[in-house]
C-alpha cells in the first residue's frame, strides 16, 4: 500500500495539471476568436456632399463626389473622384483639390488623396493661381497642412514651375516647400502679335 502523503501529492499534481489544461484551453479559445474585418462597407452613398464645420458653425471644407463607402473600423471612408473645396474665414473659396480616390480616416483628422491629384490655390490679391500636381497628397488638420513623399509639380501661373520629391505645404498661406531633387524653371510666353 502507498503512503498517504504520496497519494495526496499525486492528487494535487493531477488537479493542478487538470486546471492548467482547462485554463490553456479557455485562453486559446478566447484568443482564437479575433474579429475579422468585413470586406463589405457599413454603408454606401451615391452622390455624396460632405461638409465640415468649425466650432463657430462656419464651413471649413466640403467634399463632393459620386460614391462614398464607409467601413465601421480603422479603414474609415473611401471616396471616389472627390472634389474638396476649402473655404477662407470669410466664406470664400481658398483652395480646391481633386483626385481619383480619397480615404478619410476614422477620426477625420487625415484625408489621403490618391492618383491624379490636382490642388489649386487661388490668390485674389494678385490674380496668380498655383496648381500642384502629384500622385498622392495627405491633407492634415482640417486642411491647414498638406504633405507627401512623392514627385510633385507646382506651377505658379503664368509661368513659374518647380518640381521635386516630397512636399510640406500650407495652402491657406500659399506656401509650398519641396524637400529634395528640386528643379525650377521659368517659361517665357511669346506674344502672339509679334510672330
Is 68 in a helix, a strand, or coil? strand
Q: Looking at residues 161-175, what average pLDDT do you find?
A: 92
Helix or strand (DSSP H, E) at 158: none
How far is the C-alpha of 145 from the C-alpha of 133, rounded, in Å? 16
How far is the C-alpha of 147 from the C-alpha of 112, rounded, in Å? 10
How far is the C-alpha of 137 from the C-alpha of 149, rounded, in Å? 9
| Residue in the structure block whose three cell numbers are 528640386 | 182
Quick: pLDDT tens for 121-156. Answer: 988 777 778 999 999 999 998 889 999 999 999 998
Predicted TM-score (pTM) of the model is: 0.74
Amino acid at each position: 500500500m502507498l503512503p498517504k502523503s504520496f497519494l495526496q501529492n499525486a492528487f494535487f499534481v493531477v488537479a493542478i495539471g487538470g486546471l492548467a489544461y482547462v485554463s490553456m484551453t479557455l485562453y486559446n479559445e478566447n484568443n482564437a476568436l479575433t474579429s475579422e474585418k468585413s470586406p463589405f462597407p457599413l454603408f454606401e452613398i451615391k452622390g455624396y456632399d460632405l461638409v465640415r464645420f468649425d466650432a463657430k458653425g462656419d464651413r471649413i471644407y466640403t467634399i463632393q463626389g459620386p460614391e462614398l463607402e464607409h467601413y465601421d473600423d480603422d479603414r474609415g471612408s473611401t471616396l471616389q473622384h472627390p472634389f474638396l473645396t476649402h473655404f477662407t474665414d470669410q466664406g470664400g473659396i481658398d483652395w480646391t483639390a481633386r483626385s481619383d480616390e480619397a480615404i478619410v480616416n476614422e477620426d477625420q483628422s487625415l484625408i489621403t488623396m490618391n492618383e491624379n491629384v490636382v490642388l489649386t490655390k487661388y490668390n485674389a490679391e494678385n490674380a496668380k493661381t498655383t496648381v500642384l500636381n502629384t500622385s498622392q497628397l495627405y491633407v492634415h488638420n482640417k486642411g491647414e497642412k498638406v504633405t507627401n513623399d512623392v514627385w510633385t509639380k507646382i506651377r505658379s501661373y503664368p509661368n513659374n514651375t518647380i518640381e521635386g520629391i516630397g512636399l510640406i505645404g500650407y495652402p491657406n498661406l500659399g506656401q509650398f516647400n519641396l524637400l529634395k531633387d528640386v528643379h525650377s524653371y521659368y517659361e517665357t510666353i511669346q506674344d502672339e502679335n509679334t510672330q
